[in-house]
Amino acid sequence: MTFRSVCVYCGSRDGADPAFASAANDLGEGIAARGWRLVYGAGDVGLMGRVARRVQAAGGDTFGVIPQHLLNREVGKRDLARFVVTETMHERKKVMLMNADAVVVLPGGAGTLDEFFEVLTWRQLGLHDKPIVLLNVAGYWDGLTAVLEGIVARRFAEPSLTSLYATAPDAGAALSLLKG
């Protein structure tokens, strides 16, 4: 499969470790270098803004989706190639996934976790078969993957759950996983 659009879930903050911002920058540059389109939450702050600005600076295509109630709070990035305002968060997540061929998850907070778990659950239920990659910068997602492995070990999910996503230590490795 050739990827044309990559949905990126990530924080609206930079986080404490400079490696997070560096990974966001690298991911944005890598997406543009491959001629892929960025689909993301349309924010102009934190890791979201970093990814988008790097895609744009490298001449890449951008598709931002933001719900009305977050438009002012997250400082919506309105200079994107495509900018969609939705009524709800659920609609936002649906539009983002429907317009992407794969998902990459950078560090983030509760919203990022919500987005990850929704696309993971949808994949588990067979609603899509798009690759999901956790960009595990500085081991950020180690705790999450341990929880998911614990869910399987305690038989609340089939062992196949952990095969529905991949992890990568850096942006280059994450993008390489999407070449398959």
DSSP string, 126-173: TS----EEEE-GGGTTHHHHHHHHHHHHTTSS-GGGGGS-EEESSHHH
Supply the pLDDT for residue 144: 98
| 141 backbone φψ class: left, alpha, beta (φ>0; ψ -120 to 50) | alpha
Supply the pLDDT for residue 1: 57
- Identify the CATH number of the domain defined by range 5-177: 3.40.50.450
Q: What is the pLDDT of residues 65-78, one digit of tens each?
A: 999 988 767 667 88
Domains of the chain by residue range: 5-177
Instruction: Walk along the chain (180 residues) in steps of 10 and give the mean pLDDT of each run.
Output: 87 97 98 97 93 97 92 76 92 96 97 97 96 98 98 97 98 89
Nearest Cα residue to 54 out of 84, 17, 24? 24
**What gap in Å lies between CA 57 and CA 144, rounded to an integer?**
32
The answer to whether the CB of 105 falls within 8 A of the CB of 10 is yes
The answer to whether the CB of 135 falls within 8 A of the CB of 37 is no
Supply the pLDDT for residue 110: 96
The answer to whether the CB of 20 falls within 8 A of the CB of 140 is yes
**Is the pTM higher than 0.85?**
yes
Q: Which residues fall within 8 angstroms of residue 141, CB to CB, at 6 or more apart?
A: 105, 107, 134, 135, 167
Q: What is the pLDDT of residues 84-103, one digit of tens each?
A: 999 999 999 999 999 999 99
Instruction: Count other Cβ atoms within 10 Å, centred on residue 122.
Output: 18
